Amino acid sequence: MKTRSAVLELLTPAIVLFAGFWWLGLYVHGHGEPPALLALAHQWRGHAVGLAWALTTIGRAPVLAPLYAICLVLAIVFKNWRVRLLYLVAAALAAWGCADGFQRFFARPRRTDWLLRHELAFSYPSSHAAISTAFFALAALILLRSELAAWVRYCSFAALTALWLGILWSRLSLAAHYPTDIIGGVCLGAVVALVGAAVIRIGGGQAVAVAKSL
């Protein structure tokens, strides 16, 4: 009974977020970017381009792949962290795949005022936003609720949250995405993380015990 209640606590917000993600995708496909958000996009474009490019690079495969590999090695070495680390990598990869699939479904064209690099994939949702939410933001929450020393938990949470927000900002600074793409990506990444946590809780036994910290 407790497991069912815990699963519902995770799946309910996941369903709400996915509904919002779906509605937003249909809205921008038919109506384009809301004027207020479009004005915000133009205002944020071109700020600290060098920093934005560095942050965007962190959200790409050449950087993410080694980070995933490190997580897998740590999962082998540290048994108490195994479920959490495997869940983290699985969530990030699932968010990556889902973002790619939904980009093809909604087929929203990219912005034409891009800087530095012309992105060829479709625009909604932002895969950077989805992946960084399901990896960096999720890692921040996992560490915050872990059994590590307080200063490690708080510093890790602050650093990873700042990195996550920086990656989101970088996509607007480089004009690689519209604000709604970022919002949709965050929603999708959160949905993947919530569903993954629900699956772990359903798993029972040790997985449930570890998942209490998620």
Domain layout of the chain by residue ranges: 2-211
Calpha distance 127→185 (Å, rounded): 6
> Tokens in use for 14?
């996941």
Q: How far apart are CA 24 and CA 34, in angstroms?
A: 11
pTM score = 0.92
The dihedral over CA atoms of 90, 86, 165, 157, expressed in degrees to the nearest 10, equals 160
Per-residue pLDDT 10s for the chain (214 aa) are 666 777 888 999 999 999 999 999 999 999 999 999 999 999 999 999 999 999 999 999 999 999 999 999 999 999 999 999 999 999 999 999 999 999 999 999 999 999 998 888 999 999 999 999 999 999 999 999 999 999 999 999 999 999 999 999 999 999 999 999 999 999 999 999 999 999 988 875 444 444 444 4
Q: Are 197 and 10 in contact (CB under 8 A)?
A: yes
Residue with tokens 């990556």: 96
